[in-house]
Amino acid sequence: MYRGELIDKIEKLKREKNAVILSHFYQRPEIQDIADYVGDSLELSKIAQKTDAEMIVFCGVRFMAETAKILNPKKKVLHPNPESGCPMADMATLEGVRKLKEEYPDAVVVSYINTNADVKTVSDIVVTSRNALKVVKSLKEERIIFVPDQFLGGYIAKKVPEKEFILWKGFCPPHFNLSKEALLELKSKYPDAKIAVHPECNTDTVEIADFVGSTSQIVEFATTCEGDTVVIGTEVGIEHTLKKKNPNKRYLFPQAADYCGTVYCCDMKKNTLEKILDVLEKEINEVILPPDVMEKARIPLERMLEVV
Ligand code: 13P
Ligand code: SF4
């Protein structure tokens, strides 16, 4: 089927079924273009929680689609490709977090939104890269078990020295492979360029950045900062939105020691227009979670949304 035909069919079904399409910035350009909203994890969660649509087609990885379902359980949430997971989320286990809680009974469990639903059931509060500092600062507990991203956790820990962090040793493979040297190489060619990175990058990389933030915050910074060149230390899918928002700037994507040669999340790319049409037509790949898991996982998510 031609792309135009695919898009027309998606648009028609979306109207007929009162569906909303949500997309993360790392999705393929053509998906970002047909989405009703493109955003970071926090923005998409809030939209999913408040939407009046009957159906949510979530174009992101599994924990994002699960979060939408948990926050708005009456809606039908469809995930175009259920095989699109987040390798970092899969690094944290329910049993492992339970053990840490036993070891540190006075600690509060702070889970990055990049966790599977079962891990959220044993978490006290959820954070995203956009709000982690604010949420952590709002907690009265001094000891924090931070799951699963050791780099986001370590970045926040440095900003809150009064608290003790027990870091789960998880990481995002695409961001981990972005080295400080790759950024410095671009900086040597473009000395006036600003460097914006995601806090999932490793510590050395984050330390030399001019700006550290969520995907949405990177878009905001890169498209509005002074100067015409910005080095972007996050997944390449974001380039589409950057160019749309401000085509007059130059966005440089550094090389990464990944097999793709750049910061590229294969899982985010598993959703396609064909799969979106398929789920809308057949109403398949619905996110279904056990009711008790949804109820328990909703508590730390709603706590987060009360803070931000
Ligand atoms: P954001 O919340 O910044 O969109 O990050 C989600 C993510 O998975 C980054 O790898
Ligand atoms: Fe997970 Fe990293 Fe992909 Fe984000 S970019 S979904 S953290 S693997």
Domain over 3-85+268-288 is classified CATH 3.40.50.10800: yes
Please tell me the distance from the alpha carbon of residue 169 to that of residue 191, in angstroms, as a whole number: 34
CA-based nearest residue to 135, from 159, 114, 118: 159
- Binned at pLDDT 50, 70 and 90, residue 63 comes out as very high
Residue percentage of the chain with pLDDT more than 70: 100
Q: What is the pLDDT of residues 189-198, one digit of tens each?
A: 999 999 999 9
Residue 266 CA, ligand 1 centroid: distance in Å: 14
Nearest ligand 1 atom, CA 172: 10
Q: Are the C-beta atoms of 46 and 305 separated by less than 8 Å? A: yes
Over 80: is that where the pLDDT of 259 sits?
A: no
Residue located nearest, by CA, to atom 3 of ligand 1 = 214
- CA 198 to CA 211: how far, in whole Å? 9
| CATH number of the domain located at residue range(s) 88-172 in this protein | 3.40.50.10800
**Dihedral sign computed on CA atoms, order 212, 86, 62, 123:** negative
Share of the chain above pLDDT 90, in %: 98
CA of 35 to the centre of ligand 2 (A): 20
Q: What's the CATH fold of domain 178-252?
A: Rossmann fold (3.40.50)
Rounded distance from Cα 199 to ligand 1 centre (Å): 9
Lowest mean pLDDT among 92-101, 251-260, 271-280, 295-304: 251-260
Give the residue-averaged pLDDT of 291-299: 98
Rounded to a whole number, what is the distance in angstroms from the first to the last CA of the chain?
A: 43
How far apart CA 70 and CA 40 sit, in angstroms, is 17
Torsion region of 87: left, alpha or beta (phi above 0 gives left; psi -120 to 50 gives alpha): alpha
pLDDT band, very low/low/confident/very high, at 227 (cuts 50, 70, 90):
very high
pLDDT digits (tens, 9 = 90+) for 5-45: 999 999 999 999 999 999 999 999 999 999 999 999 999 99
Collapse the DSSP code of 18 into the 3-class scheme (helix H, G, I; strand E, B; otherwise coil) and give the result.
coil
Mean pLDDT of 264-280: 98
Ligand 1 atom, smallest distance to 128 CA: 2
The rounded mean pLDDT for the chain is 98
pLDDT score of 11: 98
Mean pLDDT of 234-251: 98
Q: Is it the case that residue 76 has pLDDT exceeding 90?
A: yes
Q: Stretch 36-65: mean pLDDT, rounded? A: 98
> Which ligand is located closest to the Cα atom of residue 25?
1
Q: What is the pLDDT of residue 205?
A: 98
Task: List, in sequence order, every beta strand (DSSP E) within the chain.
Answer: 19-24, 37-39, 55-59, 76-78, 108-112, 125-127, 143-147, 164-167, 194-197, 211-212, 229-233, 250-252
Mean pLDDT of 152-169: 98
Distances (CA, A) of 135 to 39, 44, 109, 289: 20, 18, 12, 26
Mutation probe of ligand 1 site: the residue of 135, 214, 234 with most atoms within 8 A of C-beta: 214
Cα separation of 126 and 300, whole Å? 5
Q: How confident is the model at residue 86 (pLDDT cuts 50, 70, 90)?
A: very high
Confidence of residue 257 (pLDDT cuts 50, 70, 90): confident
Answer whether 3-85+268-288 and 178-252 agree in fold. Answer: yes
All structural domains of the chain with their residue ranges: 3-85+268-288, 88-172, 178-252
Does the pLDDT at position 103 exceed 80?
Answer: yes
Confidence of residue 84 (pLDDT cuts 50, 70, 90): very high
**Within 6 Å (CB) of ligand 1, which residues are found?**
40-41, 114, 128-130, 172, 198, 200, 214-215
Q: Residue 272 burial (CB < 10 Å; 0-12/13-18/19+)?
A: middle
Q: How many angstroms does the Cα of residue 189 sit away from the middle of ligand 2?
A: 29
pLDDT-derived band at 258 (thresholds 50, 70, 90) equals confident
